[in-house]
Chain A
Amino acid sequence: MLAQKVTVQYPDEKIELPDRFHGRFELDADKCIACMLCANACPNKVIQMERAKVGKKQYLTKYVMRIEYCMFCGLCVEACNQDALHFSKVFNMNQYFRQKVRLILVDRPVPQEEEAGEAADVKRPATEGTAGAKREVAAGRSAAKEGES
Chain B
Amino acid sequence: MGENVFLNIASWIRGFLDSLGAPLLLNDLIMMIIKASAVIVFVSLNVIWLILMERKVCAYIQCRLGPNRVGPKGTLQTIADVIKLVTKEFLVPRTADKVVFLLAPLIVFVPPALALAVVPWGDGMAAVDMNIGVFYLLAVTSLSTLIFWMGAWGSNNKYALIGGMRVVAQMVSYELPLVLALLGVIMITGTLNMSEIVEAQRNVWFIFTQPLAFLIYFIAGISETNRTPFDLVEAESEIIAGPYTEYSGMGWAMFMLTEYVSVMIISIMCTVMFFGGWLAPFGWTFLPSWFWFFFKVYLFIFLFMWIRWTYPRIRVDQLMGFGWKVLVPLSLANIFVTGIGMYVYRAIGW
Asked if chains A and B are in direct contact (CB within 8 A), the reply is yes
Pair count A-B, CB < 8 A: 14
Closest to B57 in A: A1
The answer on a CB contact under 8 Å between A6 and B64 is yes
A7 to B68, CA, bound (A): 11
A4 within 8 A of B: yes
Residues of A near B63 (CB, < 8 A) are 3-7
The answer on a CB contact under 8 Å between A1 and B68 is no
A99 within 8 A of B: no
B82 within 8 A of A: no
Residues of A near B326 (CB, < 8 A) are none
Interface of A is mostly: loop
B6 within 8 A of A: no
A9 within 8 A of B: yes
The answer on a CB contact under 8 Å between A5 and B65 is yes
Residues of A near B61 (CB, < 8 A) are 1
Closest to B309 in A: A1
Residues of B near A7 (CB, < 8 A) are 63-65
Size category, B interface: under 10
B60 within 8 A of A: yes
Interface of B is mostly: loop
The answer on a CB contact under 8 Å between B60 and A1 is yes
Residues of A near B65 (CB, < 8 A) are 5, 7, 9
Which of B61, B63, B64, B68: most chain A Cβ within 10 A?
A: B63
Residues of A near B64 (CB, < 8 A) are 5-7
A115 to B64, CA, bound (A): 62
Closest chain A CB from B188 CB (angstroms): 36
Closest to A2 in B: B60
In B80-128, the 8 Å CB interface with A consists of none
In A1-44, the 8 Å CB interface with B consists of 1, 3-7, 9
Closest to B69 in A: A9
**How does the 8 Å CB contact mask read for B183-212 relative to A, with 1 for contact and 0 for none?**
000000000000000000000000000000
Closest to A6 in B: B63
Residues of B near A6 (CB, < 8 A) are 63-64
Residues of B near A3 (CB, < 8 A) are 63
Closest to A11 in B: B69
A4 to B60, CA, bound (A): 9
Residues of B near A5 (CB, < 8 A) are 63-65
**How does the 8 Å CB contact mask read for A59-87 relative to B, with 1 for contact and 0 for none?**
00000000000000000000000000000
Residues of B near A1 (CB, < 8 A) are 60-61
Closest chain A CB from B55 CB (angstroms): 13
The answer on a CB contact under 8 Å between A9 and B68 is yes
In B30-81, the 8 Å CB interface with A consists of 60-61, 63-65, 68
A5 to B63, CA, bound (A): 4
A1 to B63, CA, bound (A): 7
A5 to B66, CA, bound (A): 10
Residues of A near B60 (CB, < 8 A) are 1
Residues of A near B68 (CB, < 8 A) are 9
Closest chain A CB from B53 CB (angstroms): 14
Closest chain B CB from A14 CB (angstroms): 16
Closest to A3 in B: B63
A95 to B155, CA, bound (A): 40
A5 to B65, CA, bound (A): 7
Closest chain B CB from A13 CB (angstroms): 12
Residues of B near A4 (CB, < 8 A) are 63
Closest chain A CB from B72 CB (angstroms): 15
A1 to B64, CA, bound (A): 10
Residues of B near A9 (CB, < 8 A) are 65, 68
A28 to B63, CA, bound (A): 43
A133 to B310, CA, bound (A): 70
Closest chain B CB from A18 CB (angstroms): 23
Closest chain B CB from A6 CB (angstroms): 5
Closest chain A CB from B302 CB (angstroms): 10
Closest chain B CB from A7 CB (angstroms): 4
Closest to B64 in A: A7
A131 to B63, CA, bound (A): 66
In B275-324, the 8 Å CB interface with A consists of none
Closest chain A CB from B301 CB (angstroms): 15
Closest chain A CB from B243 CB (angstroms): 32
List 14 A–B pairs whose Cβ atoms lie within 8 Å, in order of A's numbering: A1-B60, A1-B61, A3-B63, A4-B63, A5-B63, A5-B64, A5-B65, A6-B63, A6-B64, A7-B63, A7-B64, A7-B65, A9-B65, A9-B68
A sample of 11 more A-B contacts (CB under 8 A), given A1-B60, A5-B64, A5-B65, is A1-B61, A3-B63, A4-B63, A5-B63, A6-B63, A6-B64, A7-B63, A7-B64, A7-B65, A9-B65, A9-B68
A interface list, Cβ under 8 A from B? 1, 3-7, 9
